[in-house]
Structure 1
């Protein structure tokens, strides 16, 4: 059993002083020697933190003691080492970026799809009138997804609204959304309802909670996570690997970030290609002057970018 915990959580709850709250919360987390990444917005909190079991318990107790966050559902993993290197708490306009900030369209505190607990989802997912909808990005569902789930060709969740028309054919079905921990589903299901879908559900607690409480049955592959583990096992009932190496096509479930920080592509790569390609997705990235040293993990701490250089956000 691991000596540390990693906590995944979110909460849609109004924070009037969100920017100041973020600054104060960072100091609090550092006082507990936690590492992790938390996003704070007027609409709530979205975080993953890691540290000693004692520190994580104190963190959960403190968060729950605040009436605004009393209902937070923490997903707790035991880990051998902390899942982050640093502690970041950042103020942003949304805790998950959808690009939809009109409360008349999206307000998870007022209307979302009906929450299904993991065991309820397990019983419902194979029904003929049910559509299981993955609302995550391409690199996430390429690594792992529910059997027979509908996936969308999106690079980021902010692309989800543009896919609504593609889903119109399912308006007469029970649509059940799912994501890693549940946070994206709150907005995705709310948008579906706004667009006229009448029977909308969501997997409460997401893939992670389903794995812990229902054995992860029929989740194929691994679940991508936003920390230095990059992926975790979910299915203890009928596990399979569905992802292949980006370079050679060999079956592999190892997810990495490209060693070229100006690319930073999320992709699956076998160990053999990882060695040959030095953790890069292409020969061009392998020859890039800013290429990071590949240590076999494919996880990199974010470093400052030069001015005027366009790059994808690093996982750190």
Structure 2
């Protein structure tokens, strides 16, 4: 029931935003739903206020039900900007050919995923053969695509290696599943894992990290290719201007789990595209 209600709310939000899709004074922003909707809104609120101040526009956060909804909305100009994973950026760019990644967090140039378990006997992926395993969303770069890619490099095909493969839909949900024993192990992005640990939302006496992936490029703020170039540049400079030495800016950066934002470019995500093709997730 909750999922159906959330989908309805998200759908209504997107429909409502479509009505004002050409309102020049409204910037419609969204994010891949890799965490709970309430957490996404909490993280975005101060950033939205900052962007309003920097652009002189009203900034509207548009919640969506799932990853494909963000891709479709940005590709069809129903969104102006979105927080994407590397894979969702590749998907948008494949649809449009002109999506523009503006900035990424400094750590997104060397991002990792964490493999976790509540089974004390699990020390490596070799110990999980025949056990159950959870990814996040199938469209998640750090919760599905890249961990899968690296497993395939080690000749581990999840669907035949594990007894059951499940998709939790979000990184925090994966951690909750593992802690509750719903699955024997799972994988989530390193940033969310650390946040859950720091906030006490995961019990490290019950759940442990037993492996970490190699590094890869991941998250970025992307604008639709048809956005006014002057506005795109203004948004980019607003992100780059956030200074951790200023308390008000640091509060925004902390919510984004960022030390600072740096410029990025489409070429950074070629490795993600290659990985998606290798995993048969992109045609």
Q: Tell me the TM-score normalized by structure 1.
A: 0.28
Q: Tell me the TM-score normalized by structure 2.
A: 0.30
Instruction: Specify the structure having the higher radius of gyration (Cα).
Output: 1
Higher relative contact order (CA 8 A, sep 6+): 2
